[in-house]
Structure 1
Amino acid sequence: MNLTEVTFDDARPFDGYGPGFFRIGGDVAKGALVLHPGGVAPWGGYADVATLTALAGDIDVIFIGTGAEIAHAPAALRDAVEAAGLGLEVMNTPAACRTYNVLVGEGRRVAAAVLPVD
Structure 2
Amino acid sequence: MRLNEVIYSDAVPVEAYGPGFFRIGGRAVNGPLCLSGRGVEPWGGFDDSATLLSFVGQVDVLFLGTGSEITHLPPALRNLLDAAGLGVEVMNSPSACRTYNVLLSEGRRVALAVLPV
Normalised by the length of structure 2, the TM-score is 0.96
Deviation at 1:10, TM superposition (A): 2.3
User: How is 1:93-108 mapped onto 2 (pairs within 5 angstroms)?
Assistant: 93-108=93-108
Q: CA-to-partner distance for each residue in 1:3-47, whole Å, 9 max, x for gaps?
A: 111100121100001111000111211000011122111111011
Q: Any stretches of 5+ residues in structure 1 without a counterpart?
A: none
Q: Name 1:110's counterpart in structure 2.
A: 110
Gapped runs of 5+ residues in structure 2? none
Give the distance between the partners of 2:21 and 2:102, measured in 1 at CA.
20
Aligned twin of 1:29: 29
RMSD: 0.9
Aligned length: 117
- Aligned identity (percent) is 62
Partner deviation per Cα, 1:48-77 (whole Å, 9 max, x = no partner): 111000111111111110100111111111
Match of 1:92 in 2: 92
Query: Which 4+ residue blocks in structure 1 deviate beyond 2 angstroms?
Result: none
